[in-house]
């Protein structure tokens, strides 16, 4: 059963598991800490689950960082919230006693974007990532070293919110940083499809050896 501790900076859910791996579940705009728990259990039934709620509100809807317009991110706030999330992962690992070097992000949309930002700004914090419908959060300079970190990206060929070139640019950026990137395309829009979930589950089992 999921439990909550209130002394960490994010409102969140924690659910123990028998695996050494932890899935960090990051919702999209308007989601919450409960939304992706069923997805996490489907992707890796035995994994530890940690699901924070975004601390920024946009018209009452939780997000992980502010944006100035559709697809235009508040870079100062993004940097602050990325640092905040990286610190939360370390604090949660200490409190709940899970392996801090086996944390794999699973993010959708805004959650995928903050996960990509953690990868690029804090290499080594995440052991890998599943990014559903992400875009480039920012262009790092210099490019960090991801040293073989595995990343799964899925996107829709008809996604009006994330045009294909933005997905391809993120994949290119992560590869140039040394990440091992797999991109899965679906014939659809911004919604999360069954084929994406199935492909991510297989990828997690093969690349991260978790189930």
Residue 79 CA, distance from chain mean position: 15
Q: Is residue 64 within 8 Å of residue 110, measured between CB atoms?
A: yes
The pLDDT assigned to 7 comes to 56
| String of DSSP letters for 39-67 | HHHHH-TTSEEEEEPPSEEETTEEESS-E
| String of DSSP letters for 91-149 | HHHHHHT--TTSEEEEEETHHHHHHHHHHHHSTTS-SEEEEES-------SSPP--TT-
Q: Is residue 26 within 8 Å of residue 47, measured between CB atoms?
A: no
Domains of the chain, residue spans:
12-207
**Quick one: which of 2, 25, 111 has its CA closest to 61?**
111
The pLDDT assigned to 79 comes to 96
pLDDT tens-place string over residues 75-124: 999 999 999 999 999 999 999 999 999 999 999 999 999 999 999 999 99
**What does the block give as tokens for 34?**
């409960």
Helices (H), 132-209: 164-176, 194-207
Q: CA 211, CA 81: separation in Å to the nearest integer?
A: 30
Q: CA 118, CA 129: separation in Å to the nearest integer?
A: 10
**What does the block give as tokens for 54?**
């975004």
Q: Is residue 174 within 8 Å of residue 141, measured between CB atoms?
A: no
Q: CA 17, CA 13: separation in Å to the nearest integer?
A: 13
* pLDDT band at 187; cut points 50, 70, 90: very high
* pLDDT band at 40; cut points 50, 70, 90: very high
The pTM of this model reads 0.94
Q: What percent of the chain has pLDDT over 70?
A: 96
Q: What is the mean pLDDT of the chain?
A: 93
Residues assigned a catalytic role: 109, 159, 190
CATH hierarchy code of domain 12-207: 3.40.50.1820
């Amino acid at each position: 059963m999921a439990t909550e501790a209130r002394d960490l900076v994010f409102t969140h859910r924690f659910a123990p598991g028998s695996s050494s791996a932890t899935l960090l579940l990051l919702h999209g705009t308007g989601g919450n800490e409960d939304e992706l728990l069923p997805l996490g259990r489907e992707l890796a039934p035995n994994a530890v689950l940690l699901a924070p709620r975004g601390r920024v509100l946009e018209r009452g809807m939780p997000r992980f960082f502010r944006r100035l317009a559709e697809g235009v991110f508040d870079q100062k706030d993004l940097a602050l919230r990325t640092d905040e999330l990286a610190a939360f992962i370390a604090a949660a690992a200490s409190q709940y006693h899970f392996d801090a070097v086996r944390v794999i992000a699973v993010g959708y949309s805004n959650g995928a974007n903050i996960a990509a930002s953690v990868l690029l700004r804090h290499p080594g914090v995440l052991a890998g990532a599943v990014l559903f419908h992400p875009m480039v959060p920012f262009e790092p300079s210099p490019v960090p070293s991801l040293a073989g970190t595995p990343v799964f990206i899925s996107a829709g060929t008809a996604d009006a919110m994330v045009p294909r070139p933005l997905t391809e640019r993120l994949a290119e950026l992560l590869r140039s940083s040394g990440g091992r990137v797999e991109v899965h395309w679906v014939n659809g829009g911004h919604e999360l499809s069954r084929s994406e979930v199935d492909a991510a589950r297989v990828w997690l089992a093969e690349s991260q050896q978790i189930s």
